[in-house]
Structure 1
Protein backbone atom coordinates (compact mmCIF):
# COMPACT_ATOMS: atom_id res chain seq x y z
CA UNK A 1 0.00 0.00 0.00
CA UNK A 2 1.35 3.43 -0.93
CA UNK A 3 2.55 5.90 1.67
CA UNK A 4 3.05 9.65 1.44
CA UNK A 5 5.33 12.31 2.74
CA UNK A 6 3.47 15.55 3.33
CA UNK A 7 5.87 18.43 3.83
CA UNK A 8 5.29 22.09 4.60
CA UNK A 9 8.31 24.28 3.90
CA UNK A 10 9.26 27.93 4.22
CA UNK A 11 12.73 28.62 2.86
CA UNK A 12 14.61 31.22 4.91
CA UNK A 13 17.98 31.05 3.14
CA UNK A 14 17.64 30.19 -0.56
CA UNK A 15 21.38 29.86 -1.16
CA UNK A 16 21.85 27.31 1.63
CA UNK A 17 18.64 25.53 0.67
CA UNK A 18 20.22 24.89 -2.73
CA UNK A 19 22.45 22.32 -1.03
CA UNK A 20 19.37 20.36 0.01
CA UNK A 21 17.94 20.59 -3.50
CA UNK A 22 21.16 19.19 -4.93
CA UNK A 23 21.30 16.21 -2.55
CA UNK A 24 17.68 15.15 -1.90
CA UNK A 25 16.83 13.80 -5.39
CA UNK A 26 19.25 10.87 -4.96
CA UNK A 27 17.32 9.66 -1.92
CA UNK A 28 13.96 10.07 -3.61
CA UNK A 29 15.11 8.16 -6.70
CA UNK A 30 16.58 5.32 -4.63
CA UNK A 31 13.30 4.71 -2.80
CA UNK A 32 10.87 5.02 -5.71
CA UNK A 33 9.40 8.39 -4.77
CA UNK A 34 6.97 10.15 -7.04
CA UNK A 35 6.10 13.83 -6.53
CA UNK A 36 2.36 14.49 -6.61
CA UNK A 37 2.52 18.15 -5.55
CA UNK A 38 5.48 20.48 -5.15
CA UNK A 39 5.06 24.18 -4.60
CA UNK A 40 2.43 25.73 -6.82
CA UNK A 41 -0.71 27.55 -5.82
CA UNK A 42 -1.90 26.72 -2.31
CA UNK A 43 -4.35 28.13 0.19
CA UNK A 44 -3.87 27.56 3.92
CA UNK A 45 -7.28 27.13 5.51
CA UNK A 46 -6.13 26.26 9.05
CA UNK A 47 -2.87 26.16 10.93
CA UNK A 48 0.45 27.87 10.34
CA UNK A 49 1.21 29.15 6.87
CA UNK A 50 4.19 27.86 4.89
CA UNK A 51 5.35 29.01 1.49
CA UNK A 52 5.54 25.52 -0.09
CA UNK A 53 3.63 22.29 0.27
CA UNK A 54 4.91 18.98 -1.05
CA UNK A 55 3.25 15.56 -1.40
CA UNK A 56 5.49 12.64 -2.30
CA UNK A 57 4.22 9.11 -2.94
CA UNK A 58 6.28 6.04 -1.99
CA UNK A 59 5.54 2.39 -2.74
CA UNK A 60 4.88 1.69 0.97
CA UNK A 61 5.54 2.87 4.52
CA UNK A 62 8.82 0.97 4.71
CA UNK A 63 10.17 2.82 1.66
CA UNK A 64 8.98 6.20 2.98
CA UNK A 65 10.67 5.63 6.34
CA UNK A 66 13.81 4.17 4.77
CA UNK A 67 14.14 7.21 2.52
CA UNK A 68 13.89 9.60 5.45
CA UNK A 69 16.46 7.59 7.44
CA UNK A 70 18.83 6.99 4.50
CA UNK A 71 22.37 8.33 4.36
CA UNK A 72 21.42 10.30 1.25
CA UNK A 73 18.52 12.07 2.92
CA UNK A 74 20.41 12.62 6.18
CA UNK A 75 23.03 14.48 4.12
CA UNK A 76 20.29 16.52 2.44
CA UNK A 77 18.71 17.38 5.79
CA UNK A 78 22.10 18.46 7.14
CA UNK A 79 22.56 20.75 4.13
CA UNK A 80 19.09 22.21 4.75
CA UNK A 81 19.68 22.88 8.48
CA UNK A 82 19.07 26.53 9.26
CA UNK A 83 17.90 27.25 5.72
CA UNK A 84 14.19 26.45 6.07
CA UNK A 85 11.35 25.86 8.49
CA UNK A 86 10.10 22.37 7.67
CA UNK A 87 7.39 19.98 8.90
CA UNK A 88 7.29 16.46 7.41
CA UNK A 89 4.69 13.78 8.11
CA UNK A 90 4.59 10.24 6.75
CA UNK A 91 1.05 8.96 6.13
CA UNK A 92 -0.12 5.49 5.10
CA UNK A 93 -2.36 5.43 2.03
CA UNK A 94 -5.82 3.85 1.94
Structure 2
Protein backbone atom coordinates (compact mmCIF):
# COMPACT_ATOMS: atom_id res chain seq x y z
CA UNK A 1 0.00 0.00 0.00
CA UNK A 2 1.38 3.42 -0.96
CA UNK A 3 2.20 5.97 1.70
CA UNK A 4 0.52 9.37 1.62
CA UNK A 5 1.72 12.90 2.22
CA UNK A 6 0.61 16.32 3.26
CA UNK A 7 2.37 19.01 1.25
CA UNK A 8 1.89 22.41 2.87
CA UNK A 9 3.14 25.77 1.63
CA UNK A 10 2.55 28.53 4.16
CA UNK A 11 3.19 32.25 4.57
CA UNK A 12 3.16 33.15 8.25
CA UNK A 13 2.25 36.76 8.94
CA UNK A 14 2.06 36.54 12.74
CA UNK A 15 4.77 34.23 14.10
CA UNK A 16 3.74 34.79 17.73
CA UNK A 17 0.23 33.47 17.02
CA UNK A 18 1.50 30.69 14.78
CA UNK A 19 3.79 29.37 17.53
CA UNK A 20 0.75 28.07 19.46
CA UNK A 21 -0.21 25.94 16.45
CA UNK A 22 3.34 24.57 16.12
CA UNK A 23 3.52 23.81 19.85
CA UNK A 24 0.30 21.76 19.74
CA UNK A 25 0.38 19.99 16.38
CA UNK A 26 2.98 17.35 17.34
CA UNK A 27 0.59 15.42 19.58
CA UNK A 28 -2.02 15.20 16.82
CA UNK A 29 0.52 14.14 14.22
CA UNK A 30 1.95 11.50 16.56
CA UNK A 31 -1.53 10.07 17.17
CA UNK A 32 -1.82 9.44 13.42
CA UNK A 33 1.73 8.15 13.01
CA UNK A 34 2.83 11.13 10.89
CA UNK A 35 6.52 11.78 10.25
CA UNK A 36 8.00 15.12 9.20
CA UNK A 37 10.08 14.80 6.03
CA UNK A 38 10.35 18.56 5.49
CA UNK A 39 9.77 21.17 8.18
CA UNK A 40 10.85 24.60 7.01
CA UNK A 41 14.45 24.57 5.91
CA UNK A 42 16.40 26.15 3.12
CA UNK A 43 14.55 26.25 -0.19
CA UNK A 44 14.58 27.76 -3.66
CA UNK A 45 11.57 28.50 -5.83
CA UNK A 46 12.99 27.10 -9.07
CA UNK A 47 9.60 27.71 -10.73
CA UNK A 48 6.48 29.52 -9.59
CA UNK A 49 5.88 31.58 -6.47
CA UNK A 50 7.52 30.61 -3.20
CA UNK A 51 5.96 30.59 0.24
CA UNK A 52 8.03 31.32 3.34
CA UNK A 53 7.42 27.91 4.97
CA UNK A 54 7.21 24.45 3.38
CA UNK A 55 6.23 21.24 5.17
CA UNK A 56 5.91 17.62 4.01
CA UNK A 57 4.41 15.04 6.38
CA UNK A 58 4.38 11.31 5.64
CA UNK A 59 1.53 8.99 6.65
CA UNK A 60 1.24 5.21 6.36
CA UNK A 61 -1.57 5.54 3.78
CA UNK A 62 -4.03 7.94 2.15
CA UNK A 63 -6.92 7.12 4.50
CA UNK A 64 -4.78 7.95 7.55
CA UNK A 65 -3.62 11.24 6.01
CA UNK A 66 -7.24 12.21 5.36
CA UNK A 67 -8.38 11.07 8.80
CA UNK A 68 -5.74 13.22 10.48
CA UNK A 69 -6.69 16.35 8.56
CA UNK A 70 -10.43 15.89 9.11
CA UNK A 71 -10.12 14.90 12.78
CA UNK A 72 -11.67 17.24 15.35
CA UNK A 73 -8.25 17.53 16.99
CA UNK A 74 -6.59 18.85 13.84
CA UNK A 75 -9.53 21.01 12.78
CA UNK A 76 -9.20 22.79 16.14
CA UNK A 77 -5.59 23.52 15.16
CA UNK A 78 -6.63 24.75 11.70
CA UNK A 79 -8.88 27.30 13.40
CA UNK A 80 -5.98 28.29 15.64
CA UNK A 81 -3.55 28.64 12.72
CA UNK A 82 -5.81 30.36 10.19
CA UNK A 83 -5.70 33.94 11.56
CA UNK A 84 -1.89 33.89 11.51
CA UNK A 85 -1.06 32.38 8.10
CA UNK A 86 -2.14 31.80 4.51
CA UNK A 87 -1.26 28.87 2.32
CA UNK A 88 -2.13 25.61 0.64
CA UNK A 89 -2.23 22.05 1.94
CA UNK A 90 -2.52 19.07 -0.42
CA UNK A 91 -3.17 15.50 0.72
CA UNK A 92 -1.68 13.19 -1.87
CA UNK A 93 -1.19 9.45 -2.28
CA UNK A 94 2.39 8.35 -2.89
CA UNK A 95 3.57 6.28 -5.83
CA UNK A 96 5.02 2.83 -5.34
CA UNK A 97 4.98 1.57 -8.95
CA UNK A 98 7.80 1.02 -11.40
CA UNK A 99 10.19 3.89 -11.97
CA UNK A 100 10.73 5.30 -15.48
CA UNK A 101 13.78 3.85 -17.15
CA UNK A 102 14.04 0.99 -14.67
Report the TM range for the smaller structure's normalisation. Answer: over 0.9
How far apart are residue 77 of structure 1 and its match?
Answer: 0.7
Runs of 4+, deviation exceeding 2 Å? none
How far apart are residue 4 of structure 1 and its match?
Answer: 0.5
> 1:51-90 to 2 correspondence within 5 Å?
51-90=52-91
Greater Cα radius of gyration, structure 1 or 2: 2
Structure 2: stretches of 5+ with no match in the other structure: 96-102
Encode CA deviations 1:30-88: one digit per residue, 9 max, x unaligned.
Answer: 11100111111100122221011111100000000000001111111111112011210
Structure 1: stretches of 5+ with no match in the other structure: none
Distance of 1:22 and 1:86 partners within structure 2 = 19
Distance of 2:40 and 2:75 partners within structure 1 = 22
State the partner residue of 1:3: 4
TM-score by length of 1: 0.94
Match status 1:45 vs 2:40: no
Superposed CA RMSD in Å reads 1.0
TM-score by length of 2: 0.87
State the partner residue of 2:100: none
State the partner residue of 1:31: 32
Distance of 2:54 and 2:40 partners within structure 1 = 5
